[in-house]
Amino acid sequence: MLQETISKGEASGAKQTSVPAQRKSNAPHILGRILIHLLLAIGALVMAAPFFWMLLTSLKDTSQAFSDPPTWIPNPFVWSNFPDSLNALPFGLAYFNSTYIAVVVVFCQLLTCSMAGYAFARIKFPGRDIIFILFLATLMIPFQLTIIPVFLTMKELGWLDTHLSLIVPPSLFSAFGVFLMRQFIMSIPIELEEAAIVDGANRWTIYWNILLPLLKAPLAALGIFSFLGMWNDFFRPLIMLNSPNNFTVPLMLNQFRGQYATEWTMVMAGSVIAVIPVLIVYIIFQRQIIQGIATTGLKA
């Protein structure tokens, strides 16, 4: 009995001494996490500072925007900058143009990239790997190098100053989108397709009924990237479009830049209005974006 009591006392003493040791061993880990979160918070503030400056400048008048030293908080708040920027230029038409162009491009890229990714991942045909490498090589060619032949092609087709010059070239394919779809499809077990083939399914049935439901995450990520790219595109519309009725949002914002002066408060107000759809789309689909990037490219 005495020996059992002694052994219990030793065990409790060992537990008491192990608790401080465990806390001491966890201290560096907790400190490291605190430092990481602190650095991430500082980085987030640095990245968000230009956006807050744009938002606050859109609520200033011209004298406040160029005050020395600069002030962050407007005094007073000039809310009229937003309706003034909308009334000064046909922003509603530019919004419509950018929206439908971006939607059409996103739909076309999701369709062609998913089909091409399935072909490169699952269908064996002569020269498949070489063609895929050449396909990816187009990512290394800047668009600025191909703008002249694209411009001449659009001129010959009679598509200059039309939205077809913005929709057709980028909508035909996306090398990044094909790579994204191929890598994700290769991570899907091939046994699913083999079972479908045994049941009599053809390639189209496998693509439409089996693969597409599994591609929601990478398709959402690719859709967001395509939408943001087309919504923020300035260079291509600047080259292809001439009529204000065909202008997109970035080109319409550029109209606030005069020959001798620029209405920066109007530019900032218009920029805030232009950013709203992008923020809404990202907030709604941010989980799909993260999931698509995290689960893609696991298999070479």
Residue 5 falls inside a structural domain: no
Residues 6+ apart with CB under 8 A from 12: none
Q: Tell me: the pLDDT tens digits for 175-228?
A: 889 998 998 899 888 898 889 888 888 989 999 998 888 888 888 888 888 888
Q: With respect to residue 300, please indicate whether it lies within any of the assigned structural domains.
A: no
Q: Does residue 263 sit within a domain?
A: yes
Residue 226 token pair: 């395509």
Pairwise pLDDT comparison (131 vs 172), residue with the higher score: 131
> Residue 166: phi, psi to the nearest 5?
-95, -30
Predicted local confidence at residue 298, as pLDDT: 42
The predicted model scores a pTM of 0.77
Report the pLDDT value the prediction gives residue 96, as an integer from 0 to 100: 92
Q: Which CATH number does the domain housing residue 137 bear?
A: 1.10.3720.10
42 falls within a domain: no
Is 58 inside any structural domain? no
Burial 285-294 (b: 16+ CB within 10 A, else e): beebbebbee
Rounded to an integer, what distance in angstroms lies between the CA atom of residue 103 and that of residue 12? 67
Question: Could you report the per-residue pLDDT of 240-263, keeping only the tens digit for each?
Answer: 999 889 999 999 888 877 655 677
Give me the pLDDT at residue 156, please.
93
Residue 96 inside a domain? The answer is: yes
Domain annotation covers residue 65: no
Q: What is the pLDDT of residues 26-41, one digit of tens each?
A: 777 788 888 999 999 9
Tell me if 28 is assigned to some domain. Answer: no
User: What value does the mean pLDDT take over residues 284-290?
Assistant: 71
Q: What is the mean pLDDT of residues 62-68?
A: 78
Torsion sign over Cα 94, 95, 99, 105: positive
**Residue 190 is part of which domain span?**
86-294
Rounded Cα distance, 293 and 298, in Å = 10
Q: Percent of the chain beyond pLDDT 90? A: 25
- pLDDT score recorded for residue 297: 46
Number of separate domains in the chain: 1
The least confident of 63-72, 84-93, 170-179 is 63-72
